[in-house]
Structure 1
């Protein structure tokens, strides 16, 4: 390869298989500068979807993981001491606004509601970010895209998006993909045989169909990829599922035993 080979400069596109019209909706929203709200269960591919769309659009992606201690300063920026001087340091949201990047706020409802209010002027017709500590208002650069996500089946009623926030967004609901697409994802991401991928998908779908009263979460695509990765490293399939799925879903011995029996019933007999 020569020093001018574009493959050295262009990162590989993130692997994502669209299930419905989610990519078309995102593209249309991006052309209009409309913010996007992604809803869906943990591990269903929300982050990978944003990565793939940002790559397709040719924009930098800045990701922020929401948490209960997040403040508006964590997003916007703050003054810090450097070399004996007080200097302003942009937060990730401000960097995205300045550069026209895609800013992805993952699990946004985990942050305090007074923190999420800071995105309101960015998420409506104004497309601007007030920076109170600088006494300035920063207009969004062309290409800036705001994307937020949350899991409506997981967060409690005390942790939900305010209506005044929700109504500023175009919403896209994502879910675990159909079996054929999820199998393709596992083959690609974990580097496993189709038969192994199909077995993992069968286990995942069976667990998703169980009574949720004993489980806070179900087997996600992310978990199945992790299990597949262990198989690719030489671990036996049953042991990989036990480690990457069953033991992760619960600490209750009875639940673990029940999940293990389900897995045993589903796996091909040797």
Structure 2
């Protein structure tokens, strides 16, 4: 298994987003990009899907256009619409159309939140055609060189009403991401939060303890993102226990009994200092 410490620098000298690979995901994405193949990212909330796409966009030297999926999203939100400007009706490209024209990476985050009749618009872009029909303009755009479609979702949220159609899934190269191994997650939390590895290791130990709870009344577990937020508070001078209470425990539940139970777990896992 290949492990990469993924930090890149743009031509202007600004550092790219830090990404610590835990498997072959970087190589898979690069290979898919060379073929122009679309990529599907699967993984729990806060495990680094968005950061991975940001890092890959830097690696490939491509502009990244991100769209957050939601239940009210329409095809016009992606493709574009006519708007009134200065008394005239003008066409305004949506983010997907702009990415197609400019050869950018278009990242549709949490795609299952959008209506299925909306996601069908990406089908011609996600197969050999690499085309985007724009019915309102009576035209079809061919994707510019460099265009790539990336979508993501959290399998834990899937249901009969919110799932990805087989006709959509089978057009994509799929990459599964998860919370990384403890040593890698510790490095990520330390780097992103700006704290020492000992403190980061304590936060990761707590995160794994919460993830391993049996029968817990939690809709989500402690994500890497949460641990980074807690670490950021520590970096600003807040006590570790107070940071965890605010950024992890109170975020995971509103139930007093669950909060009390999480507090007991925190006391058992985190060092008092």
* TM tier relative to shorter chain: over 0.9
Question: What TM-score results when the alignment is normalised by the length of structure 2?
Answer: 0.95
Match of 1:3 in 2: none
Give 1:155 shift.
2.8
| Cα deviation code 1:165-207 (max 9, x no counterpart) | 0000000000001100110011110000111100000000000
1:23 is the counterpart of 2:19: no
CA distance change for structure 1 residues 10 and 87 in 2, over 3 Å: closer, same or farther? farther
Question: What TM-score results when the alignment is normalised by the length of structure 1?
Answer: 0.96
Gaps of 5+ in 1: 1-5
1:111 is the counterpart of 2:114: yes
Q: In structure 1, which of residues 116, 120, 136 is the aligned counterpart of residue 139 of structure 2?
A: 136
* Cα distance in structure 1, aligned partners of 2:11 and 2:37: 33
Gaps of 5+ in 2: 1-8
* Cα distance in structure 2, aligned partners of 1:161 and 1:167: 10
Q: In structure 2, which of residues 99, 104, 108 is the aligned counterpart of residue 101 of structure 1?
A: 104
Give 1:9 shift.
2.5
Give 1:13 shift.
1.0
Match of 1:208 in 2: 211
Match of 2:72 in 1: 69
What are the within-5 Å matches in structure 2 for residues 135-214 of structure 1?
135-214=138-217
* Cα distance in structure 2, aligned partners of 1:131 and 1:210: 49
What are the within-5 Å matches in structure 2 for residues 231-250 of structure 1?
231-250=234-253
Match of 1:34 in 2: 37
Match of 1:78 in 2: 81
SS in 1 for 2:160: coil
Give 1:7 shift.
7.4
Give 1:8 shift.
8.1
* Cα distance in structure 2, aligned partners of 1:35 and 1:121: 11
SS in 2 for 1:204: helix
Paired residues in the alignment total 265
* Cα distance in structure 1, aligned partners of 2:82 and 2:249: 46
1:262 is the counterpart of 2:265: yes
Give 1:157 shift.
2.6
